[in-house]
Amino acid sequence: MASNNLEDLISPSSGLLIWEQPKIIHWSKILADSYYQLLGESLINADTPEQLSQALFHAPFVLVSHGTQANPIFNYANQTALQLWGLSWDEFTITPSASVTQPDEIKDRALMLKQAAEQGYIDNYQGIRIAKTGKKFLIKQVKLWNLQDETGNPCGQAATFPHWQWLE
């Protein structure tokens, strides 16, 4: 199970909390800017990039992203996501995003990712995901969007959802 200990959120190499790390501050800005560009609304309100990074990490909704690999690997999860999946930051950021999907929903997930890639984003997706413990949960009202860096190059996809339901 993911820990709530502050020490588990500190990078051993930098001594900084996850959301204080320059690469995470930068990534948070990409997440929020891409969301705003595609959906026309703010992901969360914050005045500075540092405040944005901290606010996204501690947001009450799930926020995750993965890179552009053929089999994408998660590269970001906020605290709500880490707790939901029961993974540490280090575990989550080496996990292929498809591996947390119910096996019989892999095709639906692939179609959803393709649709988002073509359209820029999709909203109101739902599907079943699997926590580290093997317990399944239904994710609801999912918004999935493409990520672009400052130069407009694709750099992944992100998803957020405010609701989930544990399944029997």
- Spell out the domains of the chain, with CATH numbers in brackets: 6-166 (3.30.450.20)
Predicted pLDDT of residue 12: 57
- Give the pTM: 0.90
> Residue 2 pLDDT > 50, yes or no?
no
3-state secondary structure of 66: strand
Radius of gyration of the chain (CA): 15
Instruction: Phi first, then psi: give them for residue 58, nearest 5 degrees.
Output: -100, 10
Residue 95 pLDDT greater than 90, yes or no: yes
Tell me: the pLDDT tens digits for 36-94?
999 999 999 999 999 999 999 999 999 999 999 988 999 999 999 999 999 999 999 99
HSE-CB at 164 with a 13 A cutoff on CA atoms is: 23
Residue 3 has pLDDT above 90, yes or no: no
Q: What is the pLDDT of residues 14-26, one digit of tens each?
A: 678 899 999 999 9
Where are the strands (E) in 35-130, listed by range?
62-66, 74-77, 121-130
